[in-house]
Amino acid sequence: MPNSPSPTGSTDAVALTDRTDDRPVYVIGGGPGGLATAAALRTRGVRAVVLEKADRVGASWRGHYDRLHLHTTRRWSALPGLRMPRRFGRWVGRDDLVRYLEKYTEHHELEVVTGVEVNRVDPHPDGSGDWQLTATGGRVLRARAVVVATGFNHTPRLPDWPGRDTFTGELLHAAEYRNPAPYADKDVLVVGIGNTGAEIAADLAEGGASRVRIAVRTAPHIVRRSTAGWPAQATGVLVRRLPVWLVDRLGAVLARIAVPDLSAQGLPRPEKGLYSRVREGAIPVQDVGLIDAVRTGRVVPVAAVASFDQDAVVLADGTRIAPDTVIAATGYTRALEPLLGHLDVLDARGRPVVHGARSPKQAPGLYFTGFTNPISGMLRELALDAGKIAKRVARAH
């Protein structure tokens, strides 16, 4: 009898291959979404095996910058079947979240196989309705259903700016940033004013960088993470089902009350409404220091990056600046095309056409979780999706 994968993720290739005859549900990705779905499936008596390409669960969270804390509350960030400890505080830090994911895996006795990357998913060739997964090491696995949970932030995206290769300064993606120590007394340009870029800019300003500028293509909506004890996430939960126009108006009123006008500092209020921007994929920036940094001049907004020219960065307004370091907070791609592109289940942006308990019509038994970024909180929605997927799988398979 082959050895079973341990709850912490150790196994060997023989054990993995021999167990495929059982036709488990394979969950691709050992982050919060994958672990939550596996736990929900196990609760319903469905065997689920999580395949994680890294050597530990929660790999992407381990690589985030030191200062990172969730923008969602501890209570609404817990996964099904295990609360987060009170000692984590209201806004859970990176290291505590990683500890929680490890504990979650143990608590639910999840089957997690690490060091295995799935390269392709296909309908099983025997026409049974099962799925066939091709993975590293020549492994071919059979599943009765597949849950793809490889993550919203999968592969760092670095724009191919003209002249980028000629830049004589330091250029890195935000995924490589950990803390401000290496940038003390340096002139740094952060490109992109999403939540990551805004937080890194504030971190640099507080951590001793001599000058911090942030390149802005489109001014974001900025909201307070908490106002008088009321978290922004709670507002997101309450309004997400309301008409877009109504949320836009409510957002404009709240912004005037809670957020100062930073137009004079280069951050005007956006013309398009908050929820209209969310529907386009632009999540509001939750303030964890950016407002004060911009207001006091410690972070200076500048125009978007147009190109590079040796030691200079050329901005969209024609300005030339010469920072020591450029940190590109320019987002990530889902990188699902090699895995699933042949199945016609992705939209023009490379995102799944469905999520949660729905399968694509042409791919029954294929499920997705973690590929949306809702204002109600990603971890909260992952937890809800996990239960819905497990219910559907248990009923249909």
Query: What local confidence, expressed as pLDDT, does residue 326 receive?
Result: 98
How would residue 152 be classed by pLDDT, with cut points 50, 70 and 90?
A: confident
Given a contact cutoff of 8 angstroms between Cβ atoms, the answer to whether 155 and 332 are in contact is yes
For the chain, give the mean pLDDT: 92
- The segment(s) of the chain belonging to CATH 3.50.50.60 are 13-154+334-396, 158-328
> Looking at the predicted structure, is the pLDDT value of residue 65 above 50?
yes
SS (H, E, C) 349-385: CCCECCCECCCCCCCCCEEECCCCCCCCCHHHHHHHH
How would residue 334 be classed by pLDDT, with cut points 50, 70 and 90?
A: confident
Whether domain 13-154+334-396 has CATH 3.30.70.20: the reply is no
Percent of the chain with pLDDT over 90: 86
Q: Distance between CA 216 and CA 238 in Å, rounded?
A: 30
pLDDT in tens, 19-49: 344 799 999 999 999 999 999 999 999 999 9
Residue with tokens 């199945």: 343
Query: What local confidence, expressed as pLDDT, does residue 10 receive?
Result: 38
| Fold of domain 158-328 | FAD/NAD(P)-binding domain (3.50.50)
> Looking at the predicted structure, is the pLDDT value of residue 3 above 50?
no
How would residue 347 be classed by pLDDT, with cut points 50, 70 and 90?
A: very high
CA nearest to 139, candidates 123, 124, 125, 119: 119
User: Which distant-in-sequence residues (6+ apart) come within 8 Å of 236 by Cβ?
Assistant: 374, 375, 376, 377
CA nearest to 389, candidates 369, 363, 364, 361: 369
Residue bearing the bigger pLDDT, 260 or 5: 260
> Looking at the predicted structure, is the pLDDT value of residue 64 above 80?
yes
First to last CA, the chain: 26
Predicted TM-score (pTM) of the model is 0.90
Distance of CA 132 to the CA centre of its chain: 27
pLDDT in tens, 267-281: 999 999 999 999 888
> Looking at the predicted structure, is the pLDDT value of residue 6 above 60?
no
pLDDT in tens, 156-206: 999 999 999 999 999 999 999 999 999 999 999 999 999 999 999 999 999
pLDDT in tens, 204-230: 999 999 999 999 999 999 999 998 889
